[in-house]
A and B are shown apart, each in its own frame.
Chain A
Amino acid sequence: MWRKQPEGKPSPATPAKPAAWDSPPAAKSVETSPALSQAPAAPSSSAYSAPSPEAAMLTRGIRIRGELTGKADLFIDGDMEGSIRLGDSRLTVGPSGHVKADIEAREIHIRGNVQGNLRGRERIILGNTGVVNGDLEAPRIAIEEGAQFRGRVEMGPAADARERQNKRAAPATAPSDTSSNVVATTSVPIEAQRGSR
């Protein structure tokens, strides 16, 4: 089982530029839709882990507790506590994001602070500002220099096989091209606070 190592030093994933996340969200979008709004167009320089322009956005200063499910990409730069299930979509936690939840999504990009278990159907990327306390499970996992992580890791064939088994058991919902179908099911009222951090 001891296979030959590829020669040379493994190269870490290309670091994304955290500065791209730091620009505050447009105030207008927060006012019109306090919890979930449209993400601003992502700068092309941070395509590696920037949220897609269509991604729904939970901005800085917003706090939400409950269950998040949906079919659209989601960007969280605020506080979230509960659980997140995005099926075939991508979740990005920005550098100001604080998430206390188990997360399931196709792709999970973490640049903020997450406490919970992460399950990526395709991949998980832990950015250089990311802090995760919880287990990671995905066919592919990338961890940048500087990331902080505490937990178990399962990746590669085992995670792949489990994913295929899950797909057979419950066919995945077709991905949607709309961006407004992330649903926040809250066990307690959504609490929207304008950021004063």
Chain B
Amino acid sequence: MSWMGGKSRLGSAAASAASKTHGAAPSVISVSKISHNSQNFRLSNGLKDFLWLISDVENGRLLDLGQVSQATLNFFIERGFRVTTDDMLRSWREFRSAEEEKERNAPPSDFNDPLSPEEIAQHFLQHSLQYSDDEFNAVLVWDIFDRLDAELLSRIANRLYEIVRPGGAVLALFHSKTPERSYRYRIVDNETIEIVSLGPAAAQGRIFQNREILNLFGRFRSTKTFVGRDQLREGLFIK
């Protein structure tokens, strides 16, 4: 694991965070241990650093782009955060279905060419992720980048950069081998994520190389990635 970038004070702060979290955990974070026997529970260095980076934030704002989870909500609300949940994959699927329905019902016309994937992505983002610039201290992206259409990826990464405050952090997960199932994630404690299988994946996921991840989040000042034994890569991006 290494910090890539580190152009700012935050870079060194984060590096310090990394060293601290991998030595003695900072006292501000209480680590409660649970049974990790289950395969579903994953010790997460990315989560540890993510939480350390936002641990001093007062009245913070967090955006969760995954499916709503009571555990994750409670976790952050107990720490004084205001949480916004925006299930991005569901929104995208619903948008695509609505667009396809519109196309099916449109009267045949030589002048009505179907929208290109880029145009559809652009339309989607006119209605989605409509938050103010610098609105959030932290964003949980989970693995949605593995599941979204290619046309959306850089647009969403750029939008995330805009809505995160300077110094804010984004935590994302990337599968290093093609996942056959869909998952949802929830935070169990300061270093543990529970991975809940939702059944067979509706569409084949994407596999990112590390370089692609760095390019995608290139606007962020600092990027750190971790790969676990389960081949799940965690990316921590700091604005």
- Please list the residues of chain A having a beta carbon within 8 angstroms of any beta carbon in chain B: 1-10, 12-13, 126, 141-144, 147-156, 158
Of the residues A2, A144, A152, contact of B82 by C-beta under 8 Å: A152
Chain A residues with CB under 8 A of B79: 1-3
Chain B residues with CB under 8 A of A155: 73, 77
Considering the complex, give the chain B residue whose CB is closest to the CB of A3. Answer: B78
Interface locus among B83-91, B140-148, B211-219: B83-91
Contact: A10 with B74, CB < 8 Å?
yes
Contact: B194 with A9, CB < 8 Å?
yes
Q: With an 8 A cutoff between CB atoms, is B28 at the interface?
A: yes
Chain A residues with CB under 8 A of B86: 150-151
Contact: B90 with A148, CB < 8 Å?
yes
Q: With an 8 A cutoff between CB atoms, is B204 at the interface?
A: no
Contact: A4 with B85, CB < 8 Å?
no
Bound: A148/B28 CA distance, A: 33
Contacts A148-B90, A153-B84 aside, 5 further interface pairs with beta carbons under 8 A come to A3-B78, A10-B74, A150-B87, A153-B77, A156-B78
Contact: A1 with B32, CB < 8 Å?
no
Contact: B28 with A2, CB < 8 Å?
yes
- Please list the residues of chain B having a beta carbon within 8 angstroms of any beta carbon in chain A: 28-30, 32-34, 55, 58, 67-71, 73-75, 77-80, 82-87, 90-91, 188-190, 194
Contact: B85 with A151, CB < 8 Å?
yes
Contact: A7 with B32, CB < 8 Å?
yes
Closest Cβ of chain B: how far from A126's Cβ, in Å?
A: 8
Q: Give me 17 A-to-B residue pairs in the complex whose CB atoms sit less than 8 angstroms apart, sorted by A's number.
A: A1-B79, A1-B80, A2-B30, A4-B32, A5-B75, A5-B189, A7-B34, A9-B71, A10-B71, A12-B71, A143-B68, A148-B68, A148-B87, A150-B86, A152-B85, A154-B82, A156-B77
Considering the complex, give the chain B residue whose CB is closest to the CB of A153. Answer: B83
Bound: A158/B194 CA distance, A: 28
Bound: A153/B75 CA distance, A: 13
Bound: A151/B68 CA distance, A: 10
Chain A residues with CB under 8 A of B90: 148, 150
Bound: A13/B69 CA distance, A: 12
Contact: A152 with B32, CB < 8 Å?
no
Contact: B73 with A153, CB < 8 Å?
yes
Known contacts A2-B28, A5-B190, A143 near B77 by CB under 8 Å: no
Chain A residues with CB under 8 A of B87: 148-150
Bound: A1/B54 CA distance, A: 11
Bound: A28/B148 CA distance, A: 50
Closest Cβ of chain B: how far from A55's Cβ, in Å?
A: 26
Contact: B73 with A141, CB < 8 Å?
yes
Q: Which 6 A-B pairs have the closest CB atoms?
A: A4-B30, A149-B68, A5-B32, A143-B70, A10-B71, A2-B28
Contact: B80 with A143, CB < 8 Å?
no
Bound: A144/B188 CA distance, A: 16
Considering the complex, give the chain B residue whose CB is closest to the CB of A155. Answer: B77
Bound: A12/B73 CA distance, A: 12
Bound: A155/B73 CA distance, A: 9
Bound: A6/B67 CA distance, A: 23
Bound: A143/B90 CA distance, A: 17
Bound: A9/B37 CA distance, A: 13
Closest Cβ of chain A: how far from B125's Cβ, in Å?
A: 15
Chain B residues with CB under 8 A of A5: 30, 32, 75, 78, 189-190
Contact: B71 with A150, CB < 8 Å?
no
Contact: A6 with B32, CB < 8 Å?
yes
Contact: A153 with B85, CB < 8 Å?
yes
Bound: A149/B69 CA distance, A: 9
